[in-house]
Amino acid sequence: MPLNFFSVAQEETENESEYSLFISSPTNDKVFPFINQNETVPVEIKAKEVENTDYTIKLLINDNEIKSFTSPPYEYNWNPGSSGEYEIIAQLVDGNGNIISSSNKVSFTVEYEFETAEEDTIISIDVEEKKAKILSQSIFRSQNTIPTGVPLFSYKCYIPPVIDGIFQEWDRFESFTAFEPTVKKENYTTHTDISGTFYSCWDDDNFYFVVQVVDDVFNQKYTGNQLNKGDSITIVFDTELKEDMQIPFYNSDDYQIDFSPGNFSDIFEEPFMNWPSNAPPRGVNVASIKLANGYLLEASIPWYNFPNYIPNDEDVLGFTISILDTDNLDSTEIVISSSKIFDFNNVSTLGTIVLVDAGNIQIDEEEPE
| pLDDT more than 70, % of the chain | 89
Per-residue pLDDT tens over the stretch 183-195: 998 998 877 789 9
pLDDT of amino acid 36: 63
Distance CA 303, CA 317 (A): 14
| β-pairing verdict for 84-93 and 106-112 | antiparallel
Q: What is the pLDDT of residues 85-141, one digit of tens each?
A: 999 999 999 988 899 999 999 999 998 765 444 444 445 558 888 998 999 899 999
pLDDT of residue 367: 44
To the nearest 10°, report the CA torsion of 118, 156, 295, 151.
80
Residue-averaged pLDDT of the chain: 87
pLDDT in the model for residue 10:
44
User: Can you give the pLDDT at residue 368?
Assistant: 45
pLDDT tens per residue across span 127-176: 888 998 999 899 999 999 998 889 999 999 999 999 998 888 898 899 99
Nearest to 134 by CA among 362, 359, 360, 358: 358
Taking 80 as the threshold, does the pLDDT of residue 13 lie above it?
no
What is the tens place of the pLDDT at every residue in 286-329? Answer: 999 999 889 999 999 999 999 989 999 999 999 999 999 988 77
* Average pLDDT rounded to a whole number, residues 70-95: 89
CA 148 remoteness from chain centre: 17
Residue 364: predicted pLDDT: 61
Nearest in space to 215 (alpha carbons), one of 175, 171, 264: 264
Residue 348, Cβ neighbours under 10 Å: how many? 16
Distance between CA atoms of residues 177 and 37, nearest Å:
8
Q: Which of 18-22, 58-62, 299-303 has the lowest mean pLDDT?
A: 18-22
**Domains along the sequence of the chain with CATH:** 8-112 (2.60.40.10), 119-356 (2.60.40.1190)
